[in-house]
A and B are shown apart, each in its own frame.
Chain A
Amino acid sequence: MFNFFWRKKKSTFTGGIILDGHKQVTKINTPQLPKELIYPLFLTSDRYTKACVKVGDYVKKGQVIAIADSLLSTPIHAASSGIISSIEKRLIAHPSGLADDCIILQTDGLDSALEAEPCLDYRQQSRDFLRKKIHQAGIVGLGGAAFPTAKKLSGSPAIHTLIINAAECEPYISCDESLAIASAKEIIQGSLIIQHILQASLCIIAIEDSKPDAYLALLFAAKETDIKIQKVPSIYPTGGEKQLIQVLSGEQIPPQKLVFEYGYICQNIATSFAVYQAVLLGIPLTERVITVTGAGIKQAQNIQAKIGTPIKDLVQFCQGYTEHAQQLIMGGPMMGIALASDEIAVIKASNCLLIEPIKASAIQPCIRCGDCAKVCPSELLPQQLYWYSRSQQWDNCTDYNLADCIECGCCDVVCPSKIPLVQSFRIAKSEISQQQKQAEQAALAKKRFENQQQRKLRIEQEKAVLLEKRKATIEKMKAAAAQRKLN
């Protein structure tokens, strides 16, 4: 059956652009232990963790310091041993530039770890057990979106194809490529575990054709497995879920639909590695590979960083800033967010730190050239959406599938008038989601108010009935008394 699937013409997605790579694949370097590790309790929108340590507690590497308050959040583990010195507000890696509660860990330099609980044969374990293990290890999607992996692997509806995404398509970022070269075997193991959990019949690792070393390493490591290593063209954004599926299978997932509804799941290659560590070695997620790069840094490289490390420590490890350092971006040049300070710590989602000069350019009016629509991989009409979002026509934004915009930034890059299209889409999206939240709140209040009204009405009625009854009894007694008098 799947032969047929593969014989289909492998098409590519519409739109997209070819970008200059700027990638420097280095071996992965490990910096010295930071003095302080910072862990924000806030994960992403509406997802929080709760601190389960107190100031003054001694913790070991791998110990849980904050627990998940729902399945949509994930626990945080200490990345080294030391004392919890405070729980206080610090700037966090978030586009708001706001401070939020963080656990501060003062490391003691010993780096002593909790004893790990390895699991030698994962095939002997139930799939629920494995999912739980992944959840307890605090694993989230490491490609940047940071969605909880255990939740994503919940396995319903049935999944036929697992895609391990190594199409790291943004310029500059090369952490996945370095990881693939260094740990191909472990990545294959991790992918097999995920495939086992999903009971997916097919597992494909997709890697861009511009990464021959990583391709060969994976091919070699996957020799004795059924995993397919598939080259994909280096067109940005091949790494987008829907785009990748279209490239691999030819199937186009319609707007407003999710890929798992069509039997696909995409996982980042670094997530596979984390799953391998969590399940087979019993090591929770406390470190990740991160690319530190850009014209603003002296020695660009890939770093094995402890999650919680302040960015300034990594910068120091890279020999500091150059004179071009004007802005700090977390993520790549296309989809990253600007950070306000290098005091902010690395989080699980940080795949890249880009330090760049600011390129200012004057915004010109739209000349209706249509270039933005030509490159949009989601087949949207950016200039139309721009107009609707600027004029706050939110319903029109929704009707024109704004939700399908993956914020890839292709439209921004090609626009000859330098219109900040993506920025306006982010504003519109956050406004729409805010309105939805308010509507939900209002619906809740309405329901509670109506319930109370009904309850009051019922109590009134009951009182009235009681009153009637009492009146009736009194009447009866009166009548009886009168009767007695008569007698």
Chain B
Amino acid sequence: MLFLCLVFALLGLLLGFAHKKLKIKNDPLVEQINNLLPQTQCGQCNYIGCRPYAEAIAKNEADINQCPPNGEAGIIALANLLGKEAKPLNPEFGEQKAPAVAFIIEQDCIGCVKCIPPCPVDAILGAAKQMHTVIASECTGCELCISPCPVDCIIMRPIEKTANHWQWTQDV
């Protein structure tokens, strides 16, 4: 009996300890929510990135329909995770757009480096007084680099429909 009590006490301690440890590390709920967000890092949700928005959702400070790039399917996934009712995207935060990547018209670029700090994923390459380029495979299409450019040489290009991106659909 005593032995059993001891074992249980130990187990209890262990559990408490584990709980504490996990709490200090990442909050799993925030992590789960964050994994359902598109990671565009565009800030349209009014938070500076997807993770901060995920934290706000977890604390019930923000609603689940504030992320335009996430689309309808994304909101449904969030609703399922949190056991909430799915709802349409709140248009105050913008609307879902076709996927696109930023492109710098290189002959117009004056190398002012103003586009580099806003980019949340460091997808722009360049140094002072040199032509800048966007690494298309890393660009999330967040558009944050567009307005800082003094000569308006950054444009958004829709992702081209190529055989490589093509998908089988019902009507083929």
List residues of A (394-424) whose CB comes within 8 Å of B's CBs.
423
A445/B39 in contact, CB under 8 A: yes
A450/B168 in contact, CB under 8 A: no
Asked if B164 CB lies within 8 Å of chain A CBs, one says yes
Taking CB atoms, residues of chain A closer than 8 Å to B40 are 445
B162/A449 in contact, CB under 8 A: no
A445-B121, A448-B138, A449-B50 known; A423+B166 contact, CB < 8 A: no
List residues of B (123-172) whose CB comes within 8 Å of A's CBs.
123, 138, 140, 161-164, 166-170, 172
A445/B140 in contact, CB under 8 A: yes
Complex-state Cα separation, A426 to B172, whole angstroms: 11
A449/B120 in contact, CB under 8 A: yes
Taking CB atoms, residues of chain B closer than 8 Å to A461 are none
Among A45, A442, A444, the one with the most B-chain Cβ atoms within 10 Å of its Cβ is: A442
B169/A446 in contact, CB under 8 A: no
A448/B163 in contact, CB under 8 A: no
Asked if A323 CB lies within 8 Å of chain B CBs, one says no
Interface size on A, residues (CB 8 A): 29
**Which listed segment binds B: A89-97, A207-215, A307-315?**
A89-97
B138/A450 in contact, CB under 8 A: no
A96/B163 in contact, CB under 8 A: yes
**Contact code string B92-129 (vs A, CB < 8 Å = 1, else 0):** 00000000000000000000000000001111000000
**Contact code string A70-102 (vs B, CB < 8 Å = 1, else 0):** 000000000000000000000010111010100
B164/A426 in contact, CB under 8 A: no
Return the contact of B38 from the options A42, A92, A100, A442 (Cβ within 8 A): A442
**Which listed segment binds B: A11-19, A291-299, A427-435, A467-475?**
A427-435
Asked if A453 CB lies within 8 Å of chain B CBs, one says yes
A442-B39, A449-B120, A449-B121 known; A95+B168 contact, CB < 8 A: yes
Complex-state Cα separation, A397 to B41, whole angstroms: 31
Asked if A46 CB lies within 8 Å of chain B CBs, one says yes
Among A95, A98, A100, A449, the one with the most B-chain Cβ atoms within 10 Å of its Cβ is: A449
Asked if B65 CB lies within 8 Å of chain A CBs, one says no
Among B120, B138, B164, the one with the most A-chain Cβ atoms within 10 Å of its Cβ is: B164
Complex-state Cα separation, A448 to B122, whole angstroms: 7
A445-B40, A445-B121, A452-B120 known; A100+B162 contact, CB < 8 A: yes
A448-B121, A452-B121 known; A427+B164 contact, CB < 8 A: no
A427-B170, A445-B39, A445-B140 known; A42+B120 contact, CB < 8 A: no
A42/B163 in contact, CB under 8 A: yes
Return the contact of A98 from the options B41, B120, B161, B169 (Cβ within 8 A): B161
Complex-state Cα separation, A203 to B126, whole angstroms: 55
**Contact code string A43-54 (vs B, CB < 8 Å = 1, else 0):** 001101000000
Asked if A443 CB lies within 8 Å of chain B CBs, one says yes
CB distance from B73 to the nearest CB of A (A): 9
A445-B140, A449-B50 known; A46+B34 contact, CB < 8 A: no
B167/A434 in contact, CB under 8 A: yes
Complex-state Cα separation, A452 to B51, whole angstroms: 13
A453/B167 in contact, CB under 8 A: no
Count: A-B pairs, CB below 8 Å: 69
Chain A residue nearest to B142 (CB atoms) is A445
Chain A residue nearest to B40 (CB atoms) is A445
**Contact code string B39-72 (vs A, CB < 8 Å = 1, else 0):** 1110000000111000000000000000000000
Complex-state Cα separation, A46 to B38, whole angstroms: 22
A423-B168, A434-B167, A444-B138 known; A42+B51 contact, CB < 8 A: no
Return the contact of B164 from the options A42, A446, A449, A453 (Cβ within 8 A): A42
Chain B residue nearest to A433 (CB atoms) is B167
List residues of A (85-139) whose CB comes within 8 Å of B's CBs.
92, 94-96, 98, 100
Complex-state Cα separation, A48 to B123, whole angstroms: 23
Return the contact of A427 from the options B50, B51, B140, B168 (Cβ within 8 A): B168
B168/A449 in contact, CB under 8 A: no
CB distance from B84 to the nearest CB of A (A): 20
Complex-state Cα separation, A323 to B167, whole angstroms: 32
Taking CB atoms, residues of chain B closer than 8 Å to A427 are 167-170
CB distance from A59 to the nearest CB of B (A): 25
List residues of A (21-50) whose CB comes within 8 Å of B's CBs.
42, 45-46, 48
Complex-state Cα separation, A127 to B54, whole angstroms: 53
B167/A431 in contact, CB under 8 A: yes
Complex-state Cα separation, A175 to B169, whole angstroms: 31
B34/A446 in contact, CB under 8 A: yes
B122/A452 in contact, CB under 8 A: yes
List residues of A (190-218) whose CB comes within 8 Å of B's CBs.
none
The 8 closest A-B pairs by CB, nearest first: A96-B166, A448-B121, A442-B39, A445-B39, A426-B168, A430-B167, A427-B168, A94-B163
Known: A430-B167, A445-B120, A453-B49. 20 other contacts (CB 8 A): A94-B166, A95-B166, A95-B172, A96-B163, A98-B163, A100-B162, A427-B169, A427-B170, A429-B168, A442-B38, A442-B39, A444-B138, A445-B140, A446-B51, A448-B120, A449-B49, A450-B51, A451-B122, A452-B121, A453-B51
Can you give 30 A-B contacts (C-beta < 8 A)?
A42-B163, A42-B164, A45-B164, A48-B164, A92-B163, A95-B172, A96-B163, A96-B166, A98-B163, A427-B168, A427-B169, A430-B167, A430-B168, A441-B39, A441-B140, A442-B38, A443-B39, A444-B138, A445-B40, A445-B120, A445-B121, A445-B140, A446-B51, A448-B122, A448-B123, A448-B138, A449-B39, A449-B50, A451-B122, A452-B122
